[in-house]
Structure formats: structure tokens, C-alpha cells
Amino acid sequence: MIPLPTIYHGAVINPRSLTAYDALPNCLLAVSPAGDITWLVEDVQGPMVQAVMNQKGCSEAEVVSLKTGEFIIPGFVDTHTHAPQLPNMGIGGEHQLLDWLKKCTFPMESKFADVEFAERKYRSVVRRVIDNGVGLTFFSDVAETDSTKKLADILNENGQRAFVGKCNMNRNCLETYQESSSEQSLADTHAIISHIRSHPAPPNILNSAVRDPEPLVQPILTPRFAIATTDDLLASLGQLAAADPELRIQTHISENPNEVAFTKELFPRSASYAGVYDDHGLLRENTILAHAVHLEDAEMELIKLKKAGISHCPTSNFHLSSGVAPVGEYLDRGIKVSLGTDVSGGFSPSILTAIQHASIAAKVKSFAPSPTPRQSIHQIPFADKQLSVPTLFYLATMGGAEVCCLEDRIGSFAVGKSFDALIVNVSESAGNPALWSGLDEDENVTGSKDPKKMLESMLERFLFCGDDRNIQRVYVQGRFIGGTSFSR
């Protein structure tokens, strides 16, 4: 039997830019059996659905009609988290970064050397992340090769899009946990890359007419941070990256003032923390830098020049007293910015929490504006101001796609892109007492019956009051893989 396309009819919200999104109450969106968007019509009333389908040559299809209170958005992108740290969520907030690593994090991560233990935990981790609406996740894993392979296998099995990297760390960690040598670290990294790239593409995209199929789970080079890697290991990783331009790179930068000072002590020949990575060939367009709380002016210019991206992790930065990243200034400079949960520095696996804390962080930053405002590449600057709902929504979706150089594939809805999406339910049936959907006239605080205005209100309420109970369905490459309606 030939598989049929799927047609979604109802409310769709699509990010367009840092300052705007499209709220489409009656959108008709077609997804091929391979999981790609084949066409999209922005305004189709119910009686016209079949006529439009016939016009598009799509008379035979599975039609999904959304109910009142339901809408579709792109899947969230979490550009920085740590799979082996989820069991530690919510503890260690009395410490700052370096003490937190020694006292809380490294001891937990070292337990993942036991592959059976790792598999049990990772199955729970992956399910939790998916059900929180994350279509693409960047996982930093432990230094253990077999455990990292197991994580990649579980992600592939569950159909989640992900970048997975084994941490390279051969100094300044627990002696029983850090890698024995640069040579061993590099050899294990090669083994991980080969293993992950051996995964097949999902069955529904093997015959995709839009693009060559590729696995949803991809490797990523992961030097933990400069403090944990020797000069020769960073140099070797830079050589590996130079030979493999498509290989993404993820690491930490300027999270904590003590970390920055220690990095400068260890690498006195480099002009800055960002300069350490650049000097070793690890700063480029597909590099993702987590945190970036305390960057110097020259570092911002260097990151912009190299077209690298930043993963803003506000929950973690608050929890570990690291500081507040000047996200508005990064946007004004044209630096790519996304959101990360950074579990377990962050205490939630939900990008919704990161959105809420990014909003608070920008407001905190605006309390002490810069005495010398800088020029912005945008018509309206972002620095020293709150982040609007369109901006927050963009950072959680298209911002993540841009940072990992997948903006032509995910992050928004357009013909030829993958259908990585969430069906959100903000009605009372979702069971979230914190979210009043505004579906009744008396509750509609916009004071308007305009469907677009009501849809905009529902999005804002979801971003600030929603949780996993409101995420009804999670799709990656057109496949239904999670959410409250998913059968386990």
C-alpha cells in the first residue's frame, strides 16, 4: 500500500524574523510520507479544504483537523544540554560553576561508565526531552565511548533529531574520570563519529524526493571547555575539524568569571577565551558556544567574524550565579543566538523554562543599561530592552536552526523543509491549571474576537504558563514520536 500524505488543517504559528511571526488560524499544510512539507496555504476555511486538496493534486490524504485551543508550531531546538546530568536536576544551586562541577557533576557523570546504568538513565532522559517538545537537541555526553554510543542508539531508536558528542577532557577533572591521554581521547572521538554516522536514515525519508536522506542523529565535536583540555588535545581536535568541515563543534565559553581567569592562566599565548578556540581551529560557522556571559568586546567581534553561534542558557546562569548574558547586544551585532537548557546547571529540561528565564534575564539587563549604546544592524535595537514574544519564539526555533546551520531544514514551516513540529493544546482538557487559554469570551484579555489576536494570545500564554502537559504531539521529520497523546 502506497503511504499517503498528511494534511493538517487549523491554527499554525510560524516564526518569520526576530520581530515577527505569522499567526494563521486556518492554515492548510501538507506533509509528504517522507516527512517534508510539500505545500502550505495560509487561509483555508473548513468547507474549502477538500477543494484546495483537489487543486493541489492531493485528493487522497490523511487529514488532521485541529480543535479549538490547539495550534501547530515548529519543534523547539535545545542547543545545549548534558544527558548524564538530568538525574542531578535541582541540586547544587549553592555552588558556582567550578565547585559545582567538582562536588555535584563529575561524580554523577562518572557513574555512566557503567553502560547498563547509562542505558536505563538515557531511555528516561530521551523520553523526557522529547515530551517537552524538543525536536532537536545538542547533547554533551560523558567521556565514556560505549555510553555515548548507547545514547546515540537510543536517540535513533526514538526518532529524535540530535547532535551527540563525547566530551574531550584530559585535565582538571576528577582523576578517576578524566581521559588518560590526548591520543586516547582523539581515538575515542573518531570511534564515536564513525558509530553515529553508521546509523541509517529513518525509514520514512529513505525515498525522499526533496533531499538525500541522512540520519537524524549526527556527531558533534565536544571539547568540554578549554580548562579541561590540554593544548595538544585542542590542536588535534582542530585538525580533525579541518578535515571534516560538516562536523559541528560545541563547547563552553565565558560562563563564570573564575573560569575565564583560569582559562587565561592556562593559555597565556591566546588573546582571549574565544581566541583559544580560534587559535586551535575550533571557531567557525558551525561552532556552538554555550553561555557567553562574560565576553570581551574583541571576542564578540571575533565570534561575529567567524559566524559562530551562541547558546543562551539563562536558567543555568541564574542557578549557578554565573551572570546575565547580554543577548540584546549579540543580536544587535548580528551574532546568531539560540536557547539551551544546560541541564543540570539548568533545573528544567524544558525550553519553555529557558524562554521564560531569557525574558527575565533581558529585563534584568535593562535595569543597568550600557552607558554607551552601540549601533545595531537592526532597525530597532535589542540591547538593554526586554525581549518580545516574537524574539523569544524565534530564538527557541529558527535561532536554534541557524546556530547549527540547519535553517534550510528546520525551525519554521516552508515548502521543502522537514516537518519538525508540535501540536500544542491550551484548552482546559490539557490539565494545566496555570494556563488559562482565553477561549471563553470573558477570559479573552485581548478584548477581541479576531482569530489572529486570540491565537497570538494563546501563544504568549503557552510560552509563559505552559508545560509538557500542553504538548500534545511531537513530530520529527513527519513522524509522531512524543507528547501527551503518544502511546508508550
pLDDT in tens, the chain (488 residues): 678 999 999 999 999 999 999 999 999 999 999 999 999 999 999 999 999 999 999 999 999 999 999 999 999 999 999 999 999 999 999 999 999 999 999 999 999 999 999 999 999 999 999 999 999 998 887 778 999 999 999 999 999 999 999 999 999 998 889 999 999 999 999 999 999 999 988 777 655 555 566 899 999 999 999 999 999 999 999 999 999 999 999 999 999 999 999 999 999 999 999 999 999 999 999 999 999 999 999 999 999 999 999 999 999 999 999 999 999 999 999 999 999 999 999 999 999 999 999 999 999 999 988 877 778 999 889 999 999 999 999 999 999 999 999 999 999 999 999 999 999 999 999 999 988 765 654 455 555 689 999 999 999 999 999 999 999 999 999 999 999 999 87
- Please name the fold of domain 6-74+413-482: Urease, subunit C; domain 1 (2.30.40)
Local structure of 147: helix, strand or coil: helix
HEC readout, 125-138: HHHHHHHCCEEEEE
Which three three-digit cell numbers place residue 344? 543540570
Q: 153 near 119, Cβ under 8 Å?
A: no
Residue type, 444: N
Q: What are phi and psi of 216, to 5 degrees?
A: -75, -30
- CB burial string 188-198: b at 16+ within 10 A, e below: bbeebbebbee
> Yes or no: is domain 76-403 CATH 3.20.20.140?
yes
Which three three-digit cell numbers place residue 382? 535589542
Answer yes or no: same fold for 6-74+413-482 and 76-403: no
pTM here is: 0.96
Q: How far apart are CA 300 and CA 277, in angstroms?
A: 13
**Total Cβ atoms within 10 A of residue 323:** 17
**Total Cβ atoms within 10 A of residue 29:** 25
Nearest to 352 by CA among 304, 405, 305, 397: 397
Sign (positive/negative) of CA torsion 401, 407, 412, 415?
negative
* Residue in the block written with cell 543577548: 327
Q: How far apart are CA 11 and CA 67, in angstroms?
A: 9
288 DSSP assignment = E
All structural domains of the chain with their residue ranges: 6-74+413-482, 76-403
**Total Cβ atoms within 10 A of residue 384:** 18
Nearest to 31 by CA among 12, 55, 7: 7
